[in-house]
Amino acid sequence: ELKVEQNPLFLSMQEGKNYTIYCNYSTTSDRLYWYRQDPGKSLESLFVLLSNGAVKQEGRLMASLDTKARLSTLHITAAVHDLSATYFCASGGGADGLTFGKGTHLIIQP
């Protein structure tokens, strides 16, 4: 059975700090996706990682993929309040759809 495990599930941090969210997956698919969800809203695609060593950055967020370790990370640099949201990683895609982690609820406090 395909599993995607995120940690931490809850993270409260101060503005200006750095932190990393981890995503372990057990699947034959090495496609890894990161999504953001704001309360009451839909899922917004952040990153698509398709190969070992892939690194993508957008603003204060950087995602990476290590297919050998079956690990992806989402690194937050100098957090700001606007980044408060729930972040999901997901693996798979294709005809079988995505398998999601449980999500990381991120609160960034002034």
Q: Which residues bind other proteins (CB under 8 A)?
A: 31, 33, 35, 37, 41-45, 48, 50, 86, 88, 90, 93-100, 102-103, 105
Residue 38: Cβ within 10 Å count: 11
Nearest-angstrom CA–CA distance, 66 and 54: 8
* Type of residue numbered 94: G
Q: State which residue, 50 or 78, has the beta carbon closest to other proteins.
A: 50
With respect to other proteins, which residue has the nearer C-beta, 97 or 110? 97
- Assess contact for 60 and 78: CB atoms under 8 A: yes
Minimum CB distance to other proteins smaller for 14 or for 26: 26
Minimal distance, residue 100 CB to other proteins, in Å: 4
Shortest separation between residue 61's beta carbon and other proteins, angstroms: 17
DSSP 87-110: EEEEEE-GGG-EEE---EEEEEE-
